[in-house]
Structure 1
Amino acid sequence: MQLTWRNGLDEGELAEVMALLEETEKADGVAPVGEHVILRLKAHRDVVHQIEPVQADVRSEHFVLRDSGGALIGYAHLDTEHEPDAGQLVAELAVHPDHRRQGAGTRLVEALLERAELGTDPDIDTGRLRTWSHGEHPGAVRLAERYGFHRPRELWRMGRPLTEPELPEAPPPEGVTLRTFRPGEDEADVVRVNHRAFVWHPEQGDMTEQDLRTKEQEDWFDPAGFFLAVDASGELLGFHWTKVHPDGTGEVYVVGVDPHAQGGGLGKSLTVAGLRHLRDTGRSHVILYVEADNVPAVKVYQRLGFAKLDSDVQFGR
């Protein structure tokens, strides 16, 4: 096996990586990397730009693993966006289904540990390296145990049918109205509320206007499923952004409520409005992701009929 480090991919490599991710998802029933990795790959920096003056601006690093014949058998994406401030690196990786239990995952994990300059003491979680396992894959669990990774974070995927139980009535608080997102007009307000609502969240809270506009270009984006709650003066108080996956599954993509508007039932009103929209546009099932230790949010979703489906686990060293 030959492993190379890249801070950019050429078009051929990009196509190979995307094909590997697709094969892995087909085999496991869950995508091996998160949405932000796919967006980074789509907007990748080509290898022709791998020059010293721009390296400080590169937010992604790539570990490409090939067999003796040159075929791509493993890939790891390393997010370095927070390395300058918090010193943290976040990795997601995939091994081709036909090449598992042959050392490919081991090689990728060891390369990530070397890149993070971590020692061998498995009892210390330095916070330096975080590695996601989507769906808590058994192979990832074995590697985590072998290399002494901790489990600092768990993300639950919850779901429910939209046919039953019946969705509750949840009108917005007095003086608040719901409307849909207006592309080109509402980006700044959504980003402002999103930051206030998710200042604690390691990924969601950093969304920029450019990030939002990039997602508006995705095939799944539909402003009719993006609900905003505003007061009488038009000030944005919260939002519910829904998503529909290629297989037709709906998603409670993001629900964000400004802290000064929390506690009055606005989050529930927004959530139910989005669920009704998904149901009325033909979706039969809906999912969402929630931090496992966010007990209040989990209880709210359970009361709305959601149940845990599986977990994404973040392993750390």
Structure 2
Amino acid sequence: MRRLQLTTADPADPATAAALRTVLSRAEHVDGVAALNEQARLELARGSRTLVLLCAAGDQPGAPVVGAAVLGGGELDLVVDPEWRGQGYASAALPGLLGAVPLRTAWSHGDHPAAAAIAASRGLSAVRRLHRMELSPVPEVDATAPTPAPLRIRSFTTDDVDAWVALNAQIFRDHAEQGALTARDVADRMAEPWFDAEDLLLAEWDGRLCGYLWLKREPDSPDSAEVYVVGVAAELAGHGIARALFSVAFARLADADVRTVELYVDDDNPRAVELYSRLGFSIAATETQYSLVPATTPAEELVTRASTDGNPTARS
């Protein structure tokens, strides 16, 4: 393994952005899962998370970028370019990354065995498991089937932002990430190329907003979609609102010739896993979040740090 340099970088810099895209696209191609979740990507773009490049220093100028880390929100996302895996770069980077800023958790997207090995070697415990569930083909449903009399399903408008944020916070009050979304977070997503107001379905019960199902369809993947988030007010659970939302969503996706739909659900939400299983979804992959022990490296300024640590191999 070459000497490792950790360098903070500006994601808006064209050369940095190109290097990051290369690492992320290569990792996703090999691993079959994105190395950054959407919240990390959006916060990195708006400057509220820090990008650190892992560079392999050598005798020649221009150290190659072998990986990247994104730090912020108490989280660490770390990825190594598949071409440079198996040489200990992830393990070597951890001391400097853990000592740079306060971090509570780290994600292993795809739940790689090598990431689990690093976690075990450092005494890190898994605190969250997130399942990706898939359904294919999209089932045919009768879009004209009646819904319960007090229930109305319609599409989102910009006037619904504040009400949606309030309902989302209520539904996900025990979920640190989803429940913390703000109007600014919604605006960020509305600015994304995939956003379509018609794909954010709202449920009203006697005229009061009580649930929603948000579909995400990437423009370059017309035959697939994601149930981005779905929620129903707790006091109306069991009234068939979620099923009604899914029926409308499935009809919309079928009309668009979408073949595959996926969603993410926490392992510790068995009621939701059961509901999605009854709808035909099955677990395709699992991501693991680890709790981070206190850093063993002093919190020195993280600007072009070097390490020659030769710890065990890591892929993430």
Common fold by TM > 0.5: yes
Summarize the alignment of residues 236-251 of structure 1 with structure 2, pairs less than 5 Å apart: 236-245=209-218, 246-247=220-221, 248-251=223-226
Q: 1:293 aligns with which of 268, 293, 297?
A: 268
Query: Structure 2 CA distance, aligned partners of 1:29 and 1:207?
Result: 27
* CA RMSD after TM alignment: 2.1
Q: 1:277 aligns with which of 241, 247, 252?
A: 252
State the TM-score, normalized to the length of structure 2: 0.83
* 1:51-108 deviation per Cα after TM superposition (whole angstroms, max 9, x unaligned): xxxxxxxx3123221012411111111123xxxxxxxx21111101111011211122
Aligned to 1:60: 49
Aligned to 2:277: 302
Q: 2:33 aligns with which of 30, 34, 43?
A: 30
Q: Indicate the SS of the match to 1:112.
A: helix
Aligned to 1:71: 64
Aligned to 1:258: 233
**Preserved CA contact (<8 Å) 2:26 2:82:** yes
Quote how far apart the aligned CAs of 1:147 are.
Answer: 1.5
Quote how far apart the aligned CAs of 1:168 are.
Answer: 8.0
**Preserved CA contact (<8 Å) 1:116 1:129:** no
Query: Structure 2 CA distance, aligned partners of 1:226 and 1:132?
Result: 28
Q: 2:83 aligns with which of 98, 104, 114?
A: 98
Query: Structure 2 CA distance, aligned partners of 1:297 and 1:265?
Result: 13
Quote how far apart the aligned CAs of 1:163 are.
Answer: 4.3
Percent sequence identity over matched residues? Answer: 32
**Preserved CA contact (<8 Å) 1:95 1:105:** yes
Equivalent residue letter for 1:72: V
Aligned to 1:112: 97
Equivalent residue letter for 2:33: V
**Preserved CA contact (<8 Å) 1:6 1:64:** yes
Summarize the alignment of residues 152-231 of structure 1 with structure 2, pairs less than 5 Å apart: 152-164=127-139, 166-167=140-141, 171-182=146-157, 184-231=158-205
Query: Structure 1 CA distance, aligned partners of 2:278 and 2:142?
Result: 10
Structure with the bigger RCO (C-alpha within 8 Å, sep 6+) is 2
Aligned length: 282
Equivalent residue letter for 2:127: P
Query: Structure 2 CA distance, aligned partners of 1:262 and 1:299?
Result: 14
Quote how far apart the aligned CAs of 1:4 are.
Answer: 3.0
Distance 1:198 1:172, change over 3 A: farther
Query: Structure 2 CA distance, aligned partners of 1:171 and 1:298?
Result: 26
**Preserved CA contact (<8 Å) 1:130 1:314:** yes
Query: Structure 2 CA distance, aligned partners of 1:305 and 1:114?
Result: 44
Query: Structure 2 CA distance, aligned partners of 1:115 and 1:193?
Result: 36
Quote how far apart the aligned CAs of 1:5 are.
Answer: 4.9
Which runs of 5 or more structure 2 residues have no equivalent in the other structure? 293-316
Query: Structure 2 CA distance, aligned partners of 1:283 and 1:289?
Result: 18
Aligned to 1:125: none
Query: Structure 2 CA distance, aligned partners of 1:262 and 1:171?
Result: 19
**Preserved CA contact (<8 Å) 1:158 1:307:** yes
Quote how far apart the aligned CAs of 1:262 are.
Answer: 2.2
Query: Structure 2 CA distance, aligned partners of 1:159 and 1:32?
Result: 19
**Preserved CA contact (<8 Å) 1:167 1:304:** no
Q: 1:142 aligns with which of 112, 117, 132?
A: 117
Equivalent residue letter for 2:216: K
- 2:5 is equivalent to residue 3 of structure 1: yes
Quote how far apart the aligned CAs of 1:167 are.
Answer: 4.6
Quote how far apart the aligned CAs of 1:257 are.
Answer: 1.5
Distance 1:168 1:114, change over 3 A: farther
* 1:234-279 deviation per Cα after TM superposition (whole angstroms, max 9, x unaligned): 3211111001133331111111212232221112211222122112
